[in-house]
Amino acid sequence: MIAWTRPAEAYAWMIRHDYTSCAQCHADPSGGSLLTPYGRAQGELLLRSQYGKQADDAEPGKMKDFLWGLIPLPEPTILLGGDVRNAYLAAREKAGDAPAGTDNRFISMQADFTGQVMVDRFRANASIGFDYKGAQSNAITHRDEYNLISRVHWVGVDLGEDKQWLVRAGRMNMPFGIRQIEHTLFVRDLTRTDTKGGADHSAQQHGVSLSYNAEGIRGELMAILGNYQLNPDAFRERGYAGYIEWAPMTTLAFGASSLVTHASRDLRLGTELTRQAHGVFGRYSPIQPLVLTAEADFLINTQPGNGAGGGTHAGFASFLQGDYEAWQGLHFILTGETKRDGLANTNWSYGGWAGCAWFFAPHADIRVDGMLHHLDRSGIGSTATTFLAQFHLYL
């Protein structure tokens, strides 16, 4: 089945407003999750729909703040945030003459609370949340159901005269490609660089990273030490991940990513695996309502042995997306994608998304997506259709 998404709270299409850097609006220098005071202000002024005429010098007011301004915080010393996302999923997959498989259900997709304490150049950032079923790689209680989870927890130090460098250690999202909300896109799934953290892989890893954010250029390099919320140690991947992005214009940015990891026992395959992903990505806004984003990644998977599944296999994943903001806060989104897994006996899969997202009120949005895919699973083709409706609140 086409899986469901979880939120990134990072919108690559903010480049339509001349924002190429993520560190202005997010505590994570590569984007996603906890917002800075500036990010909250832009969310109120530029992200959501406005009803009635808005002055050019309008101020965001208290509605932008944590819990809609009900609890004042000493920002930026203390940042607090949270996300609650629920969804309805209807999926159907048909392979040949076999009966179609269906999946229809309501899903509690996310219930996370995130905070950061900052003293001078020192930062401590962490999240705590609840998951009914799944997200085992994020669990800190390790039950079959009803787990407490922590997606990220790290400490860091800002360096440089303008604090353009950040050194971090802890559990973080891996820096690679475009950090976007459609986490089940082929490029995010095959490179395992979404921010979800599913039952069969770790989207977040423990490690040490160095990031850089300055006018026109940003990047991050992470030494991956493994996911220490997984046991035994054989499941833990170790290696590196990183990206660099250059913005020659405020409405154009492109970059390159690279990732190499090794695990003695891969969670998906159950065997030793060295996996590589190397790719390019870009964002462009030719006119303010329209943003084009794209990514293409080459994959190399190496398993021991020369028998079935053994050896080195090449793969590929890509997407092209257009986001058109018809009215402030109302987005129409079209996405096409392709993949070849980079494993033995797999052929090409391809498909597309058509969606609409509406940021209709302070801290609230809804989204509806329809997806149609042709999938190849070890040489067996199938057609999958998916409908997904989501409601999201951020605190």
Residue type at 90 in one-letter notation: A
143 located within any domain? no
User: In the predicted model, is pLDDT for residue 7 greater than 50?
Assistant: no
Residue 174 CB partners (closer than 8 Å, separation 6+): 192, 193, 203, 204, 205, 222, 224, 241, 259
Instruction: Read off the pLDDT of residues 332-361 as tens digits, 9 standing for 90 and up.
Output: 999 999 999 887 667 899 999 999 999 999
pLDDT value at residue 3? 38
Quote the distance between the C-alpha of residue 20 and its chain's center. Answer: 17
User: In the predicted model, is pLDDT for residue 9 greater than 50?
Assistant: no
Cα(first)–Cα(last) distance of the chain, in Å? Answer: 31
Q: What is the widest separation between alpha-carbon atoms in the chain?
A: 68
Is the separation of the CB atoms in 110 and 129 below 8 Å?
A: yes
Higher pLDDT, 147 or 257: 257
Residue 4 tokens, joined: 């469901």
23 located within any domain? yes
User: In the predicted model, is pLDDT for residue 26 greater than 70?
Assistant: yes
Quote the distance between the C-alpha of residue 195 and its chain's center. Answer: 4
Quote the distance between the C-alpha of residue 262 and its chain's center. Answer: 22
Is the separation of the CB atoms in 23 and 123 below 8 Å?
A: no
User: Alpha-carbon distance 87 to 370, whole Å?
Assistant: 13
Long-range interactions of 236-239: CB distance < 8 A, separation 24+: 236/263, 237/202, 237/205, 237/261, 237/262, 237/263, 238/262, 238/263
Give 108's pLDDT tier (boundaries 50, 70, 90): confident
Q: What CATH number corresponds to the domain at position 28?
A: 2.40.160.10
Higher pLDDT, 2 or 379: 379
pLDDT value at residue 33? 79
Is the separation of the CB atoms in 286 and 277 below 8 Å?
A: no
Give 200's pLDDT tier (boundaries 50, 70, 90): low
Is the separation of the CB atoms in 209 and 220 below 8 Å?
A: yes
48 located within any domain? yes
Give 198's pLDDT tier (boundaries 50, 70, 90): low
Run of H or E residues at 199: none
User: Alpha-carbon distance 198 to 192, whole Å?
Assistant: 10
118 located within any domain? no
Give 366's pLDDT tier (boundaries 50, 70, 90): very high
The one-character DSSP state at 39 is: H
User: In the predicted model, is pLDDT for residue 173 greater than 50?
Assistant: yes
User: Alpha-carbon distance 162 to 372, whole Å?
Assistant: 47
| Spatial CA neighbour of 355 closest among 379, 324, 381 | 324
User: Alpha-carbon distance 270 to 304, whole Å?
Assistant: 12
55 located within any domain? yes
Quote the distance between the C-alpha of residue 93 and its chain's center. Answer: 25
256 located within any domain? yes
Is the separation of the CB atoms in 109 and 74 below 8 Å?
A: no
303 located within any domain? yes
Higher pLDDT, 170 or 306: 170
Residue type at 229 in one-letter notation: Q
pTM: 0.91
Instruction: Read off the pLDDT of residues 282-340 as tens digits, 9 standing for 90 and up.
Output: 999 999 999 999 999 999 999 987 666 688 999 999 999 999 999 999 999 999 999 99
Return mean pLDDT, the chain: 89
126 located within any domain? no
Instruction: Read off the pLDDT of residues 47-93 as tens digits, 9 standing for 90 and up.
Output: 899 988 776 667 888 888 999 999 899 988 999 999 999 999 999 99
Residue 226's φ and ψ, nearest 5 degrees, are 115, 160
Is the separation of the CB atoms in 202 and 225 below 8 Å?
A: no
Number of domains in the chain: 1
Give 31's pLDDT tier (boundaries 50, 70, 90): confident
The residue range of the domain holding 343 is 12-71+82-109+174-394
Give 29's pLDDT tier (boundaries 50, 70, 90): confident
pLDDT value at residue 187? 96
